[in-house]
């Protein structure tokens, strides 16, 4: 047993009690010392008060600091700049040639199963969303370019979400050409046609 | 009462015993309901497809039970025990004590029943509906009269620091509860708050944060100031520090509420105040911790062998951690990461399990042998309780830190093309589900420790003597020598009324400065961006949303942060929630934000999603809501609802109020027909699901955007 574990000697106790027991302060046996405020504690308190005051002057009183709206706009425009720089570098893709690219169709099929099937059905026969395998189209004429437009921007008033923030450019292109190849696949339980018939 | 007691006045310890037993009973309930909620997040089938047991109703039950039933009864036990002894008098009125006790227990039972039935105000920790709000006020007044009556017949001239904290608690909780609960009834268990939008947000979080401050902090500090010096048999470290940190806490705490609303539509000046006052609270909070821990100087060796001190010391340490973490989380850039995530859940449980829980356990282990004139059955079991409970808290804390920071970082991750790396919200949920299991394990350990305590105390009570020797109140307090003249604060400690008035002024200062400017909301509204109020069916659906507690998992507030805007659309504006009685901004995103969900999906999507979310999002952890296609909408009550809303200032014309039911029925038919065309069952036009879909489709579609 080392000395740390021994109970403090009566002397130590005495010195604690002698520190500054306050006269007359005794409540149900509880006495009070009058130790000074710890310096580091007081310093911390003062620092937070001074910082808070300066912060308030900067962001509120003089408004030399940006408002939350200004900050947001700044950050969004930086992201926008990143986005336009990245998209301008992307080569333009010929969707017609992708239609015969089996790799692209495979990617497109994966995206369709993960994202589109819940509403359009596993075989694109139509459920919550319309049947994508018939000759009837609600938006555009069913060309790969038209489909890509709907997939990217969505048709918000009809409940078709915009996928451009959720999917990469390649994924959108692939799924658009994949959907294009489903035409006349005649899946079972197909939903009734909707939109305008497009004759080839 | 035995013969000898009829001569001398004794302390009323019967009431303390009742509150101690109630604390143990409600603690068990609150913790088990918490564990159920934790399991539901880890594994959704624990919702059991039962409306009464879904997370949206269980979570409010857990928070209300933990705060008001467990902590509440613990506070009352400690206050009734220590106040009588610190003032050397029996409680003012046995009748009031008894009314307080039974009133509070009836309140808790009614709260549990109504919350599970879905009667809710939709305001966190203030979910109880208007009849219960009135009942709370009544019981609190009984408590206050009993407490101040006891003060008036005290034999000690001066009030000890614990009593200061009790005074601050009683006064401020009354103010907070009354202001936050001003509401106009529609029916027996339905009302609308007079506050709306940012006004309601500000009032609610002024209340919410100060429920933490004046229900979970100041009373427990008072208990700490009594039970630590008693259990350690040491003098309090510094009287001066007590004075400074008491007044600083009481004055500063009340301002801190808006730190729950950083980067929201709340005006910037209020956000700034919320942040800086939280920062300034750090040192005053630590003042309490220092006074608690340094009181143990010269008694640390007792901590090794005495479980009571272990619990008390650890509680104060957790208090120190939580009150450091709190100001940290209030810094705007930290809040941007942590808000809406499980980091906040970690923070809260550090405070509740560590500080409130362990302080209560320490106090009960101290009280039980004294109240029942016996020895604790087993010190060793109490030691086991301590270590198992502590391990539980640590596991809980760390798992929720990890979950919160992981999810916060995933939400904000942006790639080099300026796009979100995890645009799919569900990805950020599936990632942290394993941590929900770990958290449930932590909670289970905490409960295991608590069960040991219950067993230990049950054994203790069984061997307690049948006839109890009650402690006699001294006839008179020995005169104290005082050679120095009294300082002005010392004089104040002898003047209850002046002291109480000063506390009132201290808490009202910040309250008025923050709330008053938002009373006239119109200053903040752009008249060109006025929103359209909700249609009758949408209001019916909104009430379903509130009743099911959707707000506990879904926010309706897109913050002014790029990651929020990229994911959910333009930042929410003040105007958009202008007519929202109550506001539904939420405080946690277990699921995605819904502020702009309107029109994002077709009605049929919502129908199928509510019946089984996994049909559309296979990894979803949301419960099924099959009863929404069974339960009927009460169309007729909409007239009453609309006349109340009109009185509250929502601009409905007379025709809409008078025909609210018919207008709603028309809109319901349209939606039901659309659903039926898509393959949903017929006959949904009078069911809650249709109203809820109408409301969801209206979110973000009422104007008020830039």
- The Cα–Cα gap between A160 and B223 comes to 58
Task: Specify whether the CB–CB gap between B407 and B396 falls below 8 A.
Answer: no
**Burial letters for B483-510: b for 16+ Cβ neighbours within 10 Å, e otherwise?**
eeeeeeebebbeebeebbebbbebbeeb
Question: B678 and A128: CB-CB below 8 Å?
Answer: yes
Q: What pLDDT, on a 0 to 100 scale, did the predictor assign at position A18? A: 54
Name the strand (E) or helix (H) holding B363.
Answer: helix B358-371
Residue B351 backbone dihedrals phi, psi, to 5 degrees: -70, -45
Q: Are residues A53 and A112 in the same domain?
A: no
Same domain, A58 and A123: no
For testing the chain B interface, which of A28, A57, A127 should be mutated: the one with the most B CBs within 10 Å? A28
Read off the pLDDT of each residue in A88-108 and give the average, rounded to a whole number: 85
Per-residue confidence band for B6, with pLDDT thresholds at 50, 70 and 90: low
Q: Can you tell me the mean pLDDT for B425-448?
A: 98
Count of Cβ atoms closer than 10 Å to residue B479 Cβ: 7
DSSP-derived secondary structure letter, B66:
I
CA distance B147 to B163: 10
Q: Is residue A54 part of a domain?
A: yes
Question: Does residue A86 form part of some domain?
Answer: no
Rounded Cα distance, B156 and B224, in Å: 20
Report all structural domains of chain B as residue ranges with CATH numbers, in order of start: 3-467+500-511 (1.20.210.10), 529-698 (1.10.760.10)
Task: Give residue A58's domain range.
Answer: 1-67
Q: What average pLDDT does range B627-653 have in this prediction?
A: 96
Q: What is the mean pLDDT of residues B321-349?
A: 97
User: Nearest-CA neighbor of B689 among B600, B599, B614, B611?
Assistant: B611
Token pair listed for B50:
């039962």
> At B571, is the secondary structure helix, strand, or coil?
coil
Mean pLDDT of the region B329-334: 97
* Burial (CB count within 10 angstroms: exposed 0-12, middle 13-18, buried 19+), residue A50: exposed
Q: Which residue has the tokens 């949920």?
A: B429
Q: Which residues of A touch B324 (CB under 8 A)?
A: none
A41: nearest CA partner in chain B: B283
Chain A closest-CA separation from residue B269 CA (Å): 6
Q: What is the pLDDT of residues A53-72, one digit of tens each?
A: 999 999 999 999 999 999 99
Burial class (CB in 10 A: 0-12, 13-18, 19+), B516: exposed
Q: Residues 6 or more apart from B496 whose CB is under 8 A from it? A: B148, B151, B152, B159, B167
Domain count within chain A: 2
What is the rounded distance in angstroms from the CA atom of residue B591 to the CA atom of residue A196? Answer: 38
Distance CA B322, CA B350 (A): 6
Per residue in A148-178, pLDDT (tens digit) is 999 999 887 777 888 988 888 889 999 999 9
Pick the residue of B165, B222, B236, B292 with the most A CBs within 10 A to test the interface with A by mutation: B236
Cβ neighbours of residue B363 under 8 Å, at least 6 residues apart?
B74, B77, B78, B223, B227, B312
Q: Select the more confidently predicted residue: A11 or B327.
A: B327
Per the structure block, which two tokens stand in for A51? Answer: 């910082």
- What pLDDT sits at residue A194? 85
Per-residue pLDDT, B2 = 42
The rounded distance, in Å, linking the Cα atoms of B75 and B66 is 12
Q: Do A31 and B418 touch (CB under 8 A)?
A: no
A37 and B CB contact within 8 Å: yes
Q: What are phi and psi of B190, to 5 degrees?
A: -145, 130
User: Distances from the Cα of B670 to the Cαs of B63, B275, B537, B690, in angstroms?
Assistant: 39, 47, 11, 10
- Do A124 and A190 share a structural domain? yes
A193 shares a domain with A99: yes
Report helix, strand or coil for A19. coil
- Interface check for A73 against chain B (CB to CB < 8 A): the answer is no
Within this chain, do residues A99 and A63 fall inside the same structural domain, yes or no? no
Position A52 pLDDT exceeds 50: yes
Listed by number, the residues of chain A in 143-182 with a beta carbon closer than 8 Å to a beta carbon of chain B are 156-159, 161, 165-166
Separation of alpha carbons A144 and B332, rounded Å: 46
Average pLDDT score over chain B = 95
Task: Give the model's pLDDT for residue B642.
Answer: 97
| pLDDT tier, B541 (very low <50, low <70, confident <90, very high otherwise) | very high
Q: Which residue has the higher pLDDT, A66 or B8?
A: A66
Indicate the residue of A23, A49, A128 with minimum beta-carbon distance to B605: A128
Q: What is the pLDDT of residue A199?
A: 78
Tallying the residues shown for chain B, one arrives at: 706
Q: Is residue A182 in some structural domain?
A: yes
Q: Report if residue A160 sits inside a domain.
A: yes
> Residue B436 has which token pair?
């929900």
Q: Measure CB to CB from residue A158 to each of B283, B561, B602 and give the nearest one.
A: B602
Q: What are the tens digits of pLDDT across the range A99-133?
A: 888 899 999 999 999 889 988 998 999 988 899 99
Residue whose structure tokens are 């910037």: B268
Spatial contact of B440 and B14, defined as CB atoms under 8 Å apart: no
Spell out which residues of chain A touch residue B279, defining contact as CB-CB under 8 Å.
48, 51-52
Q: Do residues A59 and A100 both lie within one domain?
A: no
Residues B221 and B317: their CA atoms lie apart, in Å, by 13
Residue A38 lies in a domain: yes
CA angle B273, B277, B283 (to 5 degrees): 165
For residue A187, the distance in angstroms to the closest alpha carbon of chain B comes to: 18
Residue B264 has pLDDT above 80, yes or no: yes
Q: What mean pLDDT do residues B42-70 have?
A: 97
Same domain, A120 and A187: yes
Q: Which residue of B has its CA nearest to A34?
A: B238
pLDDT of residue A157: 75
Place A198 in a pLDDT band, splitting at 50, 70 and 90: confident
The answer as to whether A83 is a domain residue is no
Question: Does A12 have pLDDT greater than 50?
Answer: no
User: Which of A16, A35, A117 to substitute to test the interface with B, most B CBs within 10 Å?
Assistant: A35
- Provide the mean pLDDT of chain A: 86
- The alpha carbons of chain B give a radius of gyration, in whole angstroms, of 26
Locate tokens 């025909």: which residue?
Answer: B659
Question: Hey, are the CB atoms on B160 and A27 less than 8 Å from each other?
Answer: yes
* Residue A18 sits at the chain B interface (C-beta within 8 Å): no
**B282-322 pLDDT per residue, tens:** 999 999 999 999 999 989 999 999 999 999 999 999 999 99
A103 & A44 share domain: no
Closest CA to B162 of B224, B244, B229, B80: B224
Q: Which string of DSSP letters, residue by residue, matches B292-358?
A: HHHTTTT-HHHHHH-HHHHHHHHHHHHHHHHHHHHHHHHSHHHHHHHTBSHHHHHHHHIIIIIIIIH
CATH number of the domain to which A174 belongs: 1.10.760.10
- Give me the mean pLDDT over the B216-242 stretch: 97
Cβ count within 10 A of residue B155: 12
B546 pLDDT exceeds 60? Answer: yes
Domain annotation covers residue A84: no
CA dist B413 and A176 (Å) reads: 27
Strands B183-187 and B190-193, sheet pairing? antiparallel
pLDDT digits (tens, 9 = 90+) for B391-421: 999 999 999 999 999 999 999 999 988 889 9
Query: Which residue bears the tokens 């710890």?
Result: A38
Residue A84 CB contacts under 8 Å (≥ 6 apart), including other chains: none
Q: Are residues A63 and A145 in the same domain?
A: no
Query: Rounded to a whole number, what is the distance in Å from the CA of A55 to chain B's nearest CA?
Result: 8
CA distances from B586 to A135, B539, B544, B558 (A): 46, 18, 16, 11
pLDDT at B422: 94
Alpha helices in chain A (DSSP H): 10-18, 39-56, 68-89, 95-98, 102-111, 117-120, 144-153, 169-181
| Dist. CA B545–CA B580, nearest whole Å | 13
CB contact under 8 A, B239 and A165: no
What H or E segment, with its residue span, contains residue B190?
A: strand B190-193
Q: Return the residue in B228, B245, B268, B705 with the most chain A beta carbons within 10 A, the one to mutate for interface testing.
A: B268
Q: Are residues A60 and A106 in the same domain?
A: no
| Option in B284, B298, B565 nearest A72 (CB) | B565
B575-613 confidence digits (pLDDT tens): 999 999 999 999 999 999 999 999 889 999 999 999 999
At A91, is the pLDDT very low, low, confident or very high (cuts 50, 70, 90)? confident
Distance CA B359, CA B78 (A): 10
Separation CA B340–CA B362 (nearest Å): 33
Q: Is residue A139 part of a domain?
A: yes
The span from the CA of B273 to the CA of B253, in Å, is 11
Asked if residue A28 has pLDDT above 70, the reply is yes
Look up residue B23 and give its two tokens. Answer: 């604390």
Cβ neighbours for B405, distance < 8 A, ≥ 6 positions apart: B337, B338, B341, B343
């Amino acid at each position: 047993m080392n000395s740390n574990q021994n109970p403090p000697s009566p002397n130590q106790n005495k010195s604690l009690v002698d520190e500054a027991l306050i006269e007359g302060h005794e409540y149900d046996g509880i006495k009070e010392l009058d130790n000074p405020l710890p310096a580091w504690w007081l310093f911390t308190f003062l620092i937070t008060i001074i910082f808070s005051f300066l912060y308030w002057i900067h962001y509120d009183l003089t408004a030399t600091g940006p408002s939350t709206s200004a900050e947001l706009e700044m950050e969004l425009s930086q992201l926008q700049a990143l986005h336009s720089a990245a998209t301008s570098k992307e080569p333009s893709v010929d969707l017609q040639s992708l239609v015969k690219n089996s790799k692209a169709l495979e990617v497109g099929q994966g995206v369709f199963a993960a994202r589109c099937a819940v509403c359009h059905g596993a075989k694109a026969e139509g459920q919550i969303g319309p049947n994508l395998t018939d000759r009837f189209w609600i938006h555009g004429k069913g060309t790969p370019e038209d489909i890509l437009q709907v997939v990217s921007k969505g048709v918000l008033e009809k409940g078709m979400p915009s996928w451009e923030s959720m999917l990469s450019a390649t994924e959108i292109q692939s799924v658009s050409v994949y959907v294009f190849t489903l035409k006349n696949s005649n899946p079972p339980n197909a939903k009734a046609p909707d939109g305008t018939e497009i004759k080839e | 009462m035995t013969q000898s007691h009829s001569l001398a006045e004794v302390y009323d310890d019967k009431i303390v015993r009742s509150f101690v037993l109630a604390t143990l009973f409600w603690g068990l309930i609150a913790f088990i309901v918490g564990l159920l909620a934790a399991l539901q997040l880890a594994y959704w089938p624990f919702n059991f497809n039962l409306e009464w047991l879904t997370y949206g109703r269980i979570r409010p039950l857990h928070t209300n039970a933990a705060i008001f039933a467990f902590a509440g009864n613990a506070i009352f036990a400690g206050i009734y025990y220590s106040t009588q002894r610190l003032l050397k008098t029996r409680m003012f009125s046995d009748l009031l004590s008894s009314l307080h006790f039974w009133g509070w227990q009836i309140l808790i039972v009614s709260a549990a029943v109504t919350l599970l039935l879905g009667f809710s105000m939709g305001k966190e920790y203030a979910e109880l509906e208007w009849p219960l709000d009135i009942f709370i006020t009544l019981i609190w007044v009984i408590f206050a009269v009993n407490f101040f009556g006891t003060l008036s017949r005290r034999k000690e001239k001066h009030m000890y620091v614990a009593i200061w904290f009790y005074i601050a608690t009683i006064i401020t909780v009354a103010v907070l509860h009354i202001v936050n609960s001003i509401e106009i009834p529609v029916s027996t268990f339905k009302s609308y708050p007079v506050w709306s939008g940012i006004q309601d947000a500000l009032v609610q979080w002024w209340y919410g944060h100060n429920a933490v401050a004046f229900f979970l902090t100041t009373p427990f500090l008072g208990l700490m100031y009594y039970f630590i010096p008693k259990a350690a048999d040491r003098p309090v470290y510094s009287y001066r520090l007590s004075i400074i940190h008491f007044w600083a806490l009481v004055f500063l705490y009340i301002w801190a509420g808006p730190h729950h609303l950083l980067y929201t539509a709340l005006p910037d000046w209020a956000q700034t105040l919320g942040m800086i006052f939280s920062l300034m609270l750090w040192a005053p909070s630590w003042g309490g911790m220092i006074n608690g821990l340094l009181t143990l100087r010269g008694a640390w060796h007792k901590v090794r062998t005495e479980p009571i001190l272990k619990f008390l010391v650890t509680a104060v340490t957790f208090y120190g951690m939580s009150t450091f973490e709190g100001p940290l989380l209030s810094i705007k850039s930290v809040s941007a990461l942590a808000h809406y995530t499980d980091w906040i859940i970690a923070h809260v449980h550090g405070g509740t399990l560590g500080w409130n829980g362990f302080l209560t356990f320490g106090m009960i282990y101290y009280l039980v042998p004294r109240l029942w004139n016996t020895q604790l059955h087993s010190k060793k079991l109490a030691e086991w309780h301590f270590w198992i409970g502590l391990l539980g808290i640590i596991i809980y804390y760390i798992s929720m830190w990890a979950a919160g920071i992981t999810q916060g970082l995933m939400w904000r991750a942006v790639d080099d093309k300026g796009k979100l790396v995890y645009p799919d919200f569900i990805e950020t949920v599936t990632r942290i589900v394993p941590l929900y299991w770990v958290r449930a394990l932590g909670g289970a350990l905490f409960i295991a420790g608590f069960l040991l305590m219950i067993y230990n105390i049950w054994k203790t009570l069984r061997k307690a003597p049948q006839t109890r020797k009650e402690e006699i109140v001294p006839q008179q307090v020995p005169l104290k020598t005082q050679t120095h003249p009294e300082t002005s604060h010392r004089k104040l400690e002898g003047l209850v009324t002046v002291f109480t008035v000063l506390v009132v002024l201290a808490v009202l200062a910040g309250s008025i400065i923050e709330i008053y400017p938002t009373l006239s909301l119109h200053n903040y509204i752009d008249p060109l961006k006025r929103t359209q109020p909700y249609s009758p069916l949408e209001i019916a659906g909104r009430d379903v949303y509130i009743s099911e507690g959707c707000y506990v998992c879904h926010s309706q507030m897109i913050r002014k942060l790029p990651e929020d805007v990229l994911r959910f659309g333009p930042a929410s504006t003040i105007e958009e929630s202008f007519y929202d009685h109550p506001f539904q901004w939420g405080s946690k995103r277990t699921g995605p934000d819904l502020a702009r969900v309107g029109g994002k999906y077709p009605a049929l999507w919502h129908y199928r999603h509510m019946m089984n979310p996994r049909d559309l999002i296979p990894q979803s952890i949301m419960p099924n809501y099959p009863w929404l296609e069974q339960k009927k909408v009460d169309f007729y009550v909409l007239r009453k609802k609309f006349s109340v809303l009109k009185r509250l200032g929502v601009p409905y014309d007379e025709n809409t109020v008078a025909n609210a039911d018919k207008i709603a029925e028309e809109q319901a038919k349209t939606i039901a027909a659309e659903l039926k065309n898509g393959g949903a069952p017929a006959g949904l036009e009078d069911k809650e699901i249709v109203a809820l879909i109408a409301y969801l489709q209206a979110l973000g579609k009422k104007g008020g955007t830039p």
